[in-house]
Chain A
């Protein structure tokens, strides 16, 4: 299992390096429209061709990857922290707090995410920059995506609380906070870590879905979701191989995240 995981980590590192180093190389800007060559095939000037408006596909793919790969882990971190906080508090606190927190968790699980995101997107000020808008979108994804993980964390914390080493610590006079910090949290780390890695591809795909609805990242900033819109519906049947590159990259990166995660799951 080590080899595929190593390959996955290596590939992710390569993608991240390409995103970071991409702007250092001279090349067309991701927003620049070369209107004389719209929808062009790959060439020396445009290595992956151009899109419908004549924008360089490679530059847009790198920028879109940067946007998605920067913000999806940030949203995953936010949701994992919230899940840890809510789940652990629910398990450690008294009964009514636990009930209230679990009821809130159920409420979040039952919320129609998509409509909520569309509504919030509509309420945002119109003159915010595309990057601010996409950041808000991912913050929303992070703030809404903690509920399922919180239930897992709560169940694990409850199990940990009745473990012998926690009982021994409690018998030794440890207070609740000390117990949480020194005994429970270190043992919750594998669960939280797994939730973090699981959330990244989920958020990437959610943003891609929003992008497919035209509600993702604002123009001219690209994201994987926005780039995938080119393959909507009937257009996919007549697309050229280079138009599938965002899809290939998305599938491979999400796959790599899952391979990276596999070790974490085993160690839980």
Chain B
């Protein structure tokens, strides 16, 4: 009798547990903050995306802005002012009403210099105060001291805070709210009871009741958990794992196409670096850089290292960035004869299979990359064989990441480096520090007082030009020209653009992975789970 009772209790508990649909996936690190204005790491960004309500949202599939808390908006004053019309009758998760005062409060927090908001930094265009005027409870205007490039799109990352809630940043307007957090173990989000969106049949969104974010650093464990059905998707997979998973369960994997990320290689052109003068002369020569670029078989890199889930890269903007990519540019063709001809123009010659410069130095240099990144190590090894084809000896050196960063940012004691660029934003303005010759991330020769070359000076002018106008056509022309210059000069030798690969459990419905982050759950309020579908029916 006791056994039967226990069994009944167990069954009823199981049924109760299943009645609430729960989406599960892994965070690769602990979220550093739940405060949306302080977000700078991926895990906190995930929480912000799932819980934060924004005025408008960039549709990750169409790459167009769509209204959310704001029904309409207007940018004026050459990108200095933005006016919003807000939805009426909305409430935060704790029941506090949403008004224009909350937008003003959020902007004040965002731009407060003492808060040091990384999201707010994107709005800082010039000296002076940001003025927010609440016109009515549903209309608000924000004026910046100087034009802000791509102003409206920046609001995709601005989660609105409540000005009056006692729960502060834990009161949210997004589809979920934080319900439980066990550091090192999991973060549980539950449906926001006051979420404003409804489907066409009038049912309140999101469909899934809860989201459990398991904190799991080990990617192998993450894969095993997906295979065991313990999690519902993996947002980003590398090509090797994608292939292996595809071989075992082809229905699990999704290739959303070329991503925004690029793998690239560059030479150290820092004048004060400890390299010998003849090496500095090689690396600052456009012909030398172009010859190296022509000698690299990018098709092989994409096919062999990335198993076909990548394409030869052309520019610092990926073709996945539909508007800003300069479609006139073509990837460099693998042509070692053309490379040797370029090198001959600089006085290089090949004797007994070894390339020598004009002064008789054998051409040998090292490329550093981060240890443990198998794809980069394999790319470097393939480039090693490609360059051997024109008589260059390349030494591949893998370093732990802190040592590598020390060399490329402080001591400049390296010859070439192979790394990747992770790009989260569509707007080229976010790469200002890479392209301005004075920038910290101008890796081949950072922190220049004046541009070292005429083409760097031209890039400086063009990047400043595109940053100072709200005219999108003018910006596009300037950015296209910068892409052309970079293609000609090759300060970064772009290798491949990887595909955006993910794995999605068959029980998760309505998931349409895209190349923009967050790839799988960008339409979180539309996702349904297997049991949810059954329940709806």
Contacts and interface: CB of A to CB of B under 8 A. Distances in A.
A128 interface: yes
Interface string A218-240: 11100000000100111100100
A122 B414 contact: no
A128 B220 contact: no
Interface string A24-46: 00000001110100100000000
Contacts of A234: 219-220, 223-224, 241, 244
A33 B377 contact: no
B127 interface: no
A41 B151 CA distance: 55
Contacts of A238: 244, 247-248
A165 B220 CA distance: 61
Interface in A88-140: 118-119, 121-122, 126-130
B134 interface: no
Interface in A189-238: 213-215, 218-220, 229, 232-235, 238
Contacts of B244: 234-235, 238
A127 B247 CA distance: 40
Interface in B247-277: 247-248
B395 A214 contact: no
Contact of B377 (A118, A119, A122, A219): A219
A20 to B, nearest CB: 26
Contacts of B371: 213-215
B419 interface: no
Q: Point out which of B300, B373, B380, B415 has the most chain A C-beta atoms below 10 A from its C-beta.
A: B300
A238 B224 CA distance: 12
A129 B385 CA distance: 15
B137 interface: no
Interface stretch (B81-89, B398-406, B429-437): B398-406
Nearest to A212: B372
A128 B380 CA distance: 16
Contacts of B414: 126
Contacts of B303: 35
Contacts of B395: 126-130, 218
Contact of A127 (B220, B366, B399, B403): B366
B96 interface: no
Nearest to A31: B385
A53 interface: yes
Interface in B208-259: 218-220, 223-224, 240-241, 244, 247-248
A220 B381 contact: yes
A265 interface: no
B75 interface: no
B374 A229 contact: yes
A132 to B, nearest CB: 10
Contacts of A235: 240-241, 244
B304 A126 contact: no
A53 B382 contact: yes
A229 B398 CA distance: 14
Say which size band chain A's interface belongs to.
20 to 34
9 contacts: A121-B399, A126-B366, A126-B414, A126-B415, A218-B396, A219-B380, A219-B381, A219-B396, A235-B240
Interface in B315-373: 364-366, 368, 371-373
Nearest to A115: B400
Contacts of A52: 240, 304-305, 378
B19 interface: no
A54 interface: yes
B397 interface: yes
Contact of B378 (A53, A121, A129, A213): A53
Contacts, number: 85
B384 interface: yes
Contacts of B372: 213-214
Contacts of A130: 395
A38 B239 CA distance: 14
A123 to B, nearest CB: 8
A31 B384 CA distance: 10
Q: Point out which of A122, A126, A213, A220 has the most chain B C-beta atoms below 10 A from its C-beta.
A: A126
Interface string B375-398: 001101110110000000001111
B398 A220 contact: no
Contacts of B300: 35
Contact of B400 (A33, A54, A122): A122
A118 B371 CA distance: 10
A218 B397 CA distance: 6
A238 B242 CA distance: 12
A96 to B, nearest CB: 39
Interface string B185-201: 00000000000000000
A191 to B, nearest CB: 37
Nearest to B396: A219
A214 B220 CA distance: 17
Nearest to B398: A214
A229 B375 CA distance: 12
Contact of A218 (B223, B398, B413, B415): B398
B381 A53 contact: yes
A35 B304 contact: yes
Interface in A3-57: 31-33, 35, 38, 52-54
Given A126-B415, A229-B374, A238-B248, A33 B223 contact: no
Contact of B304 (A31, A38, A118): A38
Nearest to B365: A127
Interface string A147-162: 0000000000000000
B283 to A, nearest CB: 14
Contacts of A121: 399-400
Nearest to B223: A234
Contacts of B380: 219
Contacts of A215: 371, 398, 400
Contact of B219 (A213, A219, A233): A233
Contacts of B413: 126
A126 B397 contact: yes
Nearest to A118: B400
A235 B242 CA distance: 11
A233 B395 CA distance: 28
Contacts of A35: 300, 303-304, 382
A126 B223 CA distance: 36
Given A33-B385, A126-B415, A219-B381, 8 more contacts: A35-B382, A52-B240, A118-B403, A127-B415, A219-B377, A233-B220, A234-B241, A235-B244
